[in-house]
Structure 1
Amino acid sequence: MFDFRFHHLGGREYCRVAYDEPAHWLHLTWSGVATTPDSHHVATELLRYLPAGRVHYLLNDNSRVLGPWLDSVDWLQHIWVPQAGQLGLCYVAHVLQPHTEDDLGLLLEHNLFGDKFELQFFTSLEDAECWLRECQHAVPC
């Protein structure tokens, strides 16, 4: 369906957004340093290209991110998540960047996205993919 790559002015790629046709999910792969404006830009562009009602599963891989990522949580909760939910997003598998398991506790404690879609956190890409496949077989959107 689509494959976009986002680059900093210097040319370094910080995010790839691709639709994995065989798996039927959107796959975001973040790498290096992605600033808050970078993440907002990608998320906003994503909303422009998501076909309404056709993408129900998202794999968000932060395993190669350097630096903080929690700066965008408030914006995601209030701006992006409601719009993504309206477009049909139902399940999000989020692969944490290494050594940020403590951040996971903060997010789980507040359940910021629970009323919009089901969100699960993982420390490995393989576990995240497995969970999304289980969601597809158990409760399709």
Structure 2
Amino acid sequence: MRQQFNTSTGTTFLITEFDQQNNWIYNDWQGLLTLESIQEGSGGILQLLQLTHCPYMLTDNRRLLGSWKHANDWLEQIWVPQALAAGMTYYAHVIAPGVFGQASVEDMHLRVGSHLHLQLFEHMEEAVAWLREMQTVERGA
């Protein structure tokens, strides 16, 4: 299950998919994001969550440019509650390489970090290792 979201000019801003082998939803955000593109892409992610009820999410922002802080109110108030209701529990977030992307995710972490297991990572390998550890903990519980 894979979805690709593009701007009106055809530039990809999100690829999201349910990775059955790893049992997580993988999101690859790219480029500069508008509130509208964040809402559209997040809606696609929510659809995957509602179909799979997968508790594990891996978001990759390494190819993201600039800030997306302008969407944090909407994400906090609208998207996160719906994602939690659909079963999201563990959220590994690989941060964007610039100060603006890092500030955006730090603001988001402060807003919703107490509602789910949200961890921020600088490297994909660390995020993958953490998600796998959480899956092992869940299976053992």
The question of a shared fold, defined as TM-score above 0.5 by the shorter chain, is answered with: yes
CA contact (8 A) 2:5 2:14 kept: yes
Q: Say which structure is richer in helix.
A: 2
What's 2:5 paired with? 6
TM-score, normalised by the number of residues in structure 1: 0.87
Q: Could you tell me the TM-score, scaled by structure 2's length?
A: 0.87
8 Å CA contact 2:57–2:91 kept in 1: the answer is: yes
Task: Show structure 2 runs of 5+ residues with no match.
Answer: none
Tell which deviates more after alignment, 94-103 or 67-76: 94-103
Deviations 1:60-107 (A, max 9, x none): 111100111111111111101111101110000111100338525544
| Equivalent AA in structure 1 for residue 27 of structure 2 | L
- Aligned-pair Cα RMSD in Å: 2.0
2:83 pairs with 1:99? no
Identity %: 31
Farther-moved stretch of structure 1 (27-36 vs 49-58): 49-58
Farther-moved stretch of structure 1 (40-49 vs 91-100)? 40-49
AA in 2 matched with 1:68: S
Residue type at the aligned position of 2:80:
V
2:135 aligned partner, one-letter code: Q
Q: State the 1:52 CA deviation.
A: 5.5
* Number of corresponding residues: 138
Unaligned 5+ runs, structure 1: none
1:42 aligns with 2:41: yes
Aligned-partner Cα distance in 1 for 2:50–2:78: 18
2:3 and 2:44 in contact (8 A); partners too: no
Equivalent residue letter for 2:65: L
Contact 1:94–1:121 (8 Å) recurs in 2 = yes
- In structure 1, the residue matched to 2:128 is 129
The alpha-carbon deviation at position 10 of structure 1 amounts to 1.2
Q: Which segment is superposed worse, 85-94 or 69-78?
A: 69-78
Offset at residue 53 of structure 1 (A)? 6.4
Q: 1:112/1:11 Cα in 2 relative to 1: closer, same or farther (>3 Å)?
A: same
> Does the C-alpha gap of structure 1 residues 107 and 83 become closer, same or farther in structure 2, counting only changes over 3 Å?
closer
